[in-house]
Amino acid sequence: MLKIIPAILSNSKDEVCKLLSICEGQVDRVQIDVVDNQFAKNATIDPIVIADYKTKLFLDYHLMVCDPYSWVDKCVKANADRIIGQIEMMDNQMEFMDIVTSFNKKVGLAIDIETDIAEIDDLVLDDIDVVLVMSVKAGFGGQKFQEKALEKIEKLAEIRQDYNYAYLICVDGGINSDNIHKVYQAGADEVCIGRSLFNGEISENIENLKNVLTYESKK
């Protein structure tokens, strides 16, 4: 079954901690979006400001920053389980992977909506933990899902099967009840959902999305 991961994009420590608290006991993994106001004209919290937040949640940090290498240590100190960087900001994807794994953390690469999967270094695909496909422009919330992401998901799933790779495929941006089944059918293992998941009861919203998946799969 498709894994649904709440995504937090905020420049307020208090809000991030509040949303993390809401997620406690409801899910096991949360993604925290990190934007540096250079990769995109938006700015969120620096991971280091929540380094003292105690949680049993597995934390993903999605680095939408100009120098992802230099942010890894901050994410590690902020209790990261997975650290995911945008390849558009990398001169060397293998170097990013090596830095993250040197801290014994899981590592992911993200591709923006206009980036082709051919831009992912073939050498990393055998060892990467997750490939994150943006289905909107990276760096901003509340955008509409773009269906051209589906072709990327399908291609990544095909490559994974052909070469017996083990990476997960995660999709981020504009996911809702109208498109979640298409994403799942294309081959995604995980989806990240932001503000809509926090409107109301998060557990109820997740259950509703799972019901959509079950219903659509039976049609």
Q: Judge whether 89 and 61 are in contact, CB under 8 Å.
A: no
The residue from 33, 36, 60, 112 that is catalytic is 33
Query: In the prediction, which pLDDT does 35 show?
Result: 94
Tokens of 19: 């949303």
- CATH superfamily ID and name for 3-218: Aldolase class I (3.20.20.70)
User: Looking at 36, 60, 112, 172, which residue is catalytic?
Assistant: 172
Could you give the CA distance from residue 59 to residue 32 in angstroms, rounded to a whole number?
7
pLDDT of res. 79: 97
Active site residue 52: no
Q: For residue 172, indicate whether it is catalytic.
A: yes
Average pLDDT over residues 145-166: 97
Convert the pLDDT of each residue in 112-127 to its tens digit.
999 999 999 999 999 9
Q: Which amino acid is at 163?
A: Y
Average pLDDT over residues 85-104: 97
Model pTM score: 0.96
Tokens of 18: 């509040």
Are the CB atoms for 106 and 83 separated by under 8 Å? yes
Residue 8 phi, psi dihedral angles, 5° rounding: -115, 120
The CA-based dihedral angle spanning residues 184, 189, 195, 198, taken in that order and rounded to the nearest 10 degrees: 100
The pLDDT value given to residue 77? 97
